[in-house]
Amino acid sequence: MKSAAHYQQQKHKQNGSHFSNSPIPYLNLPFLPPVQDKLKVLN
């Protein structure tokens, strides 16, 4: 899960203010499955 959190933090930096500063809200958003799919590809 650390790698997922790290990926989300990097994605936040890339997308700027589009997301909250904390990676936690990502877990409750509807686009989490696509993010997980990307993580499966990356890892």
According to the model, what pLDDT value does residue 41 have? 72
Question: In the block, which residue shows the tokens 């958003």?
Answer: 29
In angstroms, the Cα distances linking 7 to 14, 31, 36 are: 11, 14, 10
According to the model, what pLDDT value does residue 10 have? 60
Number of domains in the chain: 1
According to the model, what pLDDT value does residue 25 have? 55
Residues of the domain holding 32: 2-42
Summarised one tens digit per residue, pLDDT across range 10-41 is 654 555 444 455 565 555 555 556 666 776 77
What integer best gives the mean pLDDT of the chain? 59
Q: What is the pTM of this model?
A: 0.19
